[in-house]
Structure 1
């Protein structure tokens, strides 16, 4: 078996262009906090993420959740482009599109139609990114252009692939949130690690608690405290992803205001699909390789 793979890391989004000659099987043991998208142009591969087998052939892209271990069988000659996007970036981008926080597994459908529509545009953009990052890497000289491509491929994944929030994306955009809701959100982000209360948030927003709750229900489809809980979970997740050996899950949880470790672990798994200890161990494994 021979192969030729080029990988290009750009932070939360990475690209790859791979060619394989011959057949082989491999198994990934370590979970990763990324969505893995494969866009084939030649040959066949079969992915098994533990639930059902997913066939990857030209014209049909596949999306695999890296939080789950998976095996793959590749039948060469095989050529594909690949895209790896951190869950955090996908969730943040979807939050921006919906103008409210999102929770839990996004439950992406495993297949992407590549012959037309957003899927075709996605494949063209990934190819453009790979061409711009190899050799003298002209895209590296234009960080704004590279960031725009990374945002665009994330947007296209959310449009090209059915997921748990697809129906909500298809509905008309809500009215802009009123000023007091924006003030409350700004206050929560500015004081995210402090023991702020509902009264504190309402005071910063210059409205009553009742008015603030009504505003969040109408324009964010959540409550102020649930929103605060969500951004704290995201901050804890980022800490665990960037963790090192002397940092424990308890350290991270307490830093972001989670005093009940069992509840923190349960909420974290519901939001990110893995336990906080798995994220921390996974980061350590990556650094040790």
Structure 2
């Protein structure tokens, strides 16, 4: 269940009796948060605003039911539940209930997956809602989250080590991508491809060196010292995309970085034009598909609510 915040309010309704009690603790490492939540009573919670996170619940005791549209997901020990925070969720808690929570920024997951696959990742990852917590990566995730939560309580040394916290966030993100089936699971299971040939590397280096300039496919091919056809084949085989789609992706990432760090006088149009996006409507649509929010929301600091679940 999610506790209510100003940016992500939750409506709570009693379902049986009038007894309700909870004890929740939350710790954040930036784009990854850990929680331990215990509840008494039978009640229903409805989240009334979307979040920019993937929400993972790891039950230790009791039962809960998550309603997503017409679907209902039973949450019990041994079975983890993963929910896209961009959808409206109603949760029924049947206490006594105790679960661990793991909440990861969707952009971090997409970036981590792109690094694992060595190619651009776009669109909804389409996580399956359940994961097995009794063996394999699911069990390892349960143990790691519990260890992390215990290591963040009080004055634990882990809280004093930014590098360790960053590594911990990467580790749980990696395990989520392995433990929970999603749209890219088959690609992750495929043996890693051979290292990209020199002409693909030269093309990528050229793109980064001239990222804000109006370069064409012919320019990239010339820098890579191959024909356009050979360059296209190389990117399809070793990066699973096209050269221009790859250039579009790194420009979007650069625009995102600028919007995250923009000063008060910069506008979305300024940033878009800097990185070669002349059609602002298309830029906004592509940006939202890639990062889950509009450019204007990032510019205003709209990086998603920091709610606890």
TM-score of the alignment, normalized to the shorter chain, above 0.5: yes
C-alpha distance in 1 between matches for 2:240 and 2:91 = 40
Judged with a 3 Å threshold, the aligned counterparts in structure 2 of structure 1 residues 202 and 232 are, in CA distance, closer, same or farther, namely same
Q: What's the counterpart of residue 212 of structure 2?
A: 193
Partner SS, residue 284 of structure 2: helix
**Structure number with bigger Rg:** 2
CA separation of 1:137/1:278 partners in 2, compared to 1, >3 Å: closer, same or farther? same
Secondary structure of 2:171 counterpart: helix
Which residue of 2 is the match for residue 38 of structure 1? 57
* Contact 1:61/1:113 (8 A) holds in 2: yes
Q: Do residues 105 (structure 1) and 124 (structure 2) align?
A: yes
In structure 1, the gaps of 5 or more residues are none
In 2, Cα distance between equivalents of 1:114 and 1:245: 46
Cα distance change, pair 53–146 in 1 and its aligned pair in 2 (3 A): same
CA RMSD of aligned residues (A): 2.7
Distance 2:116 2:304 in 1: 33
Residues 92-131 of structure 1 mapped to structure 2, 5 A cutoff: 92-131=111-150
Deviation for aligned residue 1:39: 0.6
Deviations 1:103-123 (A, max 9, x none): 211100000110111100001
Shift of 1:60: 0.7
Aligned match of 2:278: 259
Partner Cα separation in structure 2 for residue 48 and residue 279 of structure 1: 29
Distance 1:15 1:284, change over 3 A: closer
- Written as runs of structure 1 = structure 2, the 5 A alignment for 1:6-85 is 6-85=25-104
Report if the CA contact (8 A) 1:32-1:282 is conserved. no
1:218 aligns with 2:232: no
Cross-structure match for 2:172:
153
- Shift in alpha-carbon separation, 1:280–1:66, aligned structure 2, 3 A: farther
Which TM-score applies when normalising by structure 1?
0.87
Task: Judge conservation of contact 1:12–1:89 (CA < 8 Å) in 2.
Answer: yes
Any gaps of 5 or more consecutive residues in structure 2?
A: 1-19
SS in 1 for 2:206: helix
Scaled by the length of structure 2, the TM-score of the pair is 0.82
Q: What CA deviation, in whole Å up to 9, does each residue of 1:235-264 have, x standing for no partner? A: 444555667887654444334322222322
